[in-house]
């Protein structure tokens, strides 16, 4: 069961606002990471994120369960998770 997320974005990304806005409506707890900062870039590297937006979904044990790059992917994954 998915219960947490990390969303990697940048300020210059045209698709990021839509993904950020949608993920906030899901009821999941999560963290937004600006991958254009030094700290965000380090975290992106730790999680092997090479493109934005990237949403990493985690299960109840904290393990990565899925990744999504668009609202449509997120909707499909969250629907499958029900």
Enter the tokens of residue 5.
């997320």
CATH value at residue 52? 3.40.30.10
pLDDT tens for each residue of 14-63: 999 999 999 999 999 999 999 999 999 999 999 999 999 999 999 999 99
Q: Whole domain around residue 16: which residue ranges?
A: 2-80
- Scan for tokens 């806005």, then name that residue: 21
Structural domain count of the chain: 1
The predicted pLDDT at position 81 comes to 77
Distance CA 27, CA 40 (A): 23
The predicted pLDDT at position 80 comes to 85
């Amino acid at each position: 069961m998915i219960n947490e997320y990390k969303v990697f974005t940048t300020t210059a990304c045209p698709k990021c606002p839509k993904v950020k806005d949608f993920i906030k409506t899901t009821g999941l707890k999560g963290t937004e990471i600006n991958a254009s900062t030094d700290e965000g870039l380090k975290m992106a590297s730790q999680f092997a994120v090479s493109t934005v937006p990237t949403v990493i979904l985690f299960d109840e044990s904290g393990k990565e369960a899925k990744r999504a790059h668009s609202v449509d992917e997120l909707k499909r994954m969250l629907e499958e998770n029900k």
